Amino acid sequence: MAKPAYPSVDAYLAAQPDAARAALMMVRQAIWRAMPDAEESISYQIPTYKLDGRAVLYFAGWKNHFSLYPVSAPLLAAFPGELSRYVVSKGTIRFPLAEPVPADLIERVARFRVDEARGARIT
């Protein structure tokens, strides 16, 4: 079955179940605080944030969690204690929907990704 084609992040969020939508809206706000100059779009059928035409951060909602992508080794090293409670694998951080959204942590992760994208942190 093909994934639906979302024309915008608003459409993506509107298609999510209520519980996931509320969490994802908080994720979106945290990313915007960290990346106010980013271009928001859909890529790979998930919300994407680009700087200078380059994708810097993605997020997606799932049945029991939401995820942030990509996650580099330097990012993991920068937040060892804070990320240790979440499932991290294959460049992804998974946050359970059953827990409060760690908006401050997501904002700091997004800022870290901005620095990485701009070459301030080398992977």
> Residue 69 sits in a domain of what CATH number?
3.90.1150.200
**Within a domain: 18:** yes
Q: Are 98 and 40 in contact (CB under 8 A)?
A: no
* Residue 1 Cα distances to 4, 46, 123, angstroms: 9, 16, 36
Q: Using the predicted structure, report yes or no on whether residue 120 has a pLDDT greater than 80.
A: no
In-domain check, residue 22: yes
Number of domains in the chain: 1
Indicate if the pLDDT at residue 123 is higher than 50. no
Residue 1 lies in a domain: no
* Neighbour count for residue 3 (Cβ, 10 Å): 8
Q: The whole model's pTM is what?
A: 0.90
Q: Which domain holds residue 67?
A: 9-117
The mean pLDDT of 1-27, rounded to a whole number, is 89
What does residue 119 show for φ and ψ, rounded to 5 degrees?
A: 85, 5
pLDDT at residue 46 tops 70: yes
With CA atoms as reference, report the closest residue to 51 among 117, 112, 111: 117
